[in-house]
Structure 1
Amino acid sequence: MTRALRFGDGFVTLVLRLGDAVARIGPLVEPRLAAGWPVRQISRMTISGEHLANLQSLLRRDPLRFEALTIVAGLNLPDCWIAAGFVRDAVWDHCHGFPVRPPLGDVDVIWFGEDQRDESIDREIEQRLSRQRPHLAWSVKNQARMHLRNADVPYASAADAMRHWPETATATGARIDEAGAVRIAAPFGAHDLFNLLLRPGPAFAAEKLSIFAERVRSKRWLERYPRLQLVVDPFAVAGGG
């Protein structure tokens, strides 16, 4: 079986032979296809103490991100985190030796309130956040309703919702608790995040792999972060896991 995916103006072609993957990538994309763990193993990952401490330290030392976390903590929303690129890019910047810089794109605030699913509530929260920090692109989504948009079974929590996100490294959130400590939610652990592995989450490893590929292309991650390694599980592409 052969599966071709478009990345930029080139192609990534996975040629499956006895479980091995060969990457053939067009001239505008470097051939970086790393060997990875099976999807089933990724689903069971937890964050290590070292990665947890490093991530907490990174966020505390970033004035703008820590301010954003403090503002969101003041909302007192249930099961509430700032997630996705807000956390991911901070780590990728650090691992590339880039200086601390503001979040690029949306600041994704996720929360879980089963009895407050009306989308207008999210818009009201965005307006409240924008009044406090107007230069950030706040995006608020109650994950109790997002399974409908994504055609998934209902999520049980914000962390459960992140299990259905396109990349393992993106499925990471942070918040400040009542005691002022930085808490981390990372349903796939932080191994991929700190080791610069760009891997589709289990929900996007096979049938939705083209969506993952389009995100890699449109967000120009391999150009912005040249040390990233693209990881695709050949068994998942073949429908075996």
Structure 2
Amino acid sequence: MPGGTRGGRLSDGEQERLREVLGRNAVLVEVLGRAAGMGLPGWYLTAGCLFQTVWNVVTGRPPGGGIKDYDIFYFDDTDLSWEAEDAVIRAGREVFAGVPVEVEIRNEARVHLWYARKFGVPCPPYRSVEGAIDSFAATACCLGVRLETGGEWVFYAPCGLDDVFGLVLRPNPVLAPREVYEAKAARWVGEWPELTVLPWSG
């Protein structure tokens, strides 16, 4: 992958560029601000709402166009019950009331309990939200951002930004099976035909 594994760290220039682009999506900024007030442990706003905002800006589309939902991941391994996660999800419905998008909240400490049923392959327990982001199906997807106290934007980008800004879908065969990568790629190309899809190599 371009730049190799970088531990999620971006240069100051890369952070400034990414923040400027994501900041053009007013809904994303609103969700980010409301999420910060929930106090969720180890949380990030992540997945499609980030890389698809970049794709939209790079290709001259409205920043929020074609984005299906906004994903918030957090990590709480002190209670792996569905009831505990559901309580957070229900609290989120109140926090995000009036936001004109679907906001999905998930405890990544619980993913291994249901992943195999949904995707057909086992998922070792994650140790953090960063671990979950590391396993996304394509390198361009591996992004996370959260707001710290004081409003600082904190980014996690283990694969760097070359692929996401270059409109390249490169498989990341850490966890997701080939069918998941190819299905996602086909769906995304239907919305963003400028994407270059590299073949599965896992």
TM-score by length of 2: 0.84
Tell me if the contact between 1:47 and 1:190 (Cα under 8 Å) persists in the aligned partners: no
1:144 corresponds to 2:109: yes
1:211 corresponds to 2:171: no
Shift of 1:152: 2.2
Aligned partner of 1:30 in structure 2 is none
The AA in structure 1 aligned to 2:182 is: A
**Selected match of 1:162 from 124, 128, 133:** 133
Tell me if the contact between 1:197 and 1:229 (Cα under 8 Å) persists in the aligned partners: yes
Please say which structure displays the higher CA radius of gyration. 1
Give secondary structure in 1 for the equivalent of 2:15. Answer: helix
1:228 corresponds to 2:195: yes
Aligned partner of 1:124 in structure 2 is 87
Q: 1:211 to 1:60 in 2, by over 3 A?
A: closer
Q: Tell me, which stretches of 5 or more residues in structure 1 are unaligned? A: 1-36
The AA in structure 1 aligned to 2:15 is: L
The AA in structure 2 aligned to 1:75 is: M
Residue by residue, what CA displacement relative to the aligned partner does 1:43-63 show, whole Å, maximum 9, x if unpaired?
A: 457554233211112233332
Q: Percent identity?
A: 25
Q: Tell me, which stretches of 5 or more residues in structure 2 are unaligned? A: 116-121
Aligned partner of 1:53 in structure 2 is 16
Shift of 1:226: 2.0
Tell me if the contact between 1:73 and 1:176 (Cα under 8 Å) persists in the aligned partners: yes
- Distance across 2 between alignment mates of 1:196 and 1:96: 9
1:179 corresponds to 2:155: no
- Distance across 1 between alignment mates of 2:160 and 2:19: 14
More strand by share: 1
- Distance across 2 between alignment mates of 1:174 and 1:105: 18
- Distance across 2 between alignment mates of 1:195 and 1:79: 29
State the superposition RMSD in angstroms.
2.3
- Distance across 2 between alignment mates of 1:152 and 1:184: 24
TM-score by length of 1: 0.72
Shift of 1:203: 1.7
- Distance across 1 between alignment mates of 2:66 and 2:45: 11
- Distance across 1 between alignment mates of 2:79 and 2:112: 15
Aligned partner of 1:26 in structure 2 is none
Q: Which moved more, 1:148-157 or 1:158-167?
A: 148-157
Q: 1:190 to 1:158 in 2, by over 3 A?
A: same
Question: What is the correspondence of 1:24-103 to structure 2 with a 5 Å cutoff?
Answer: 37=1, 42-44=4-6, 46-49=8-11, 50-101=13-64
Aligned partner of 2:74 in structure 1 is 111
**Residue-pair matches, total:** 193
Tell me if the contact between 1:45 and 1:189 (Cα under 8 Å) persists in the aligned partners: no
More helix by share: 2
Aligned partner of 1:28 in structure 2 is none
- Distance across 1 between alignment mates of 2:183 and 2:175: 12
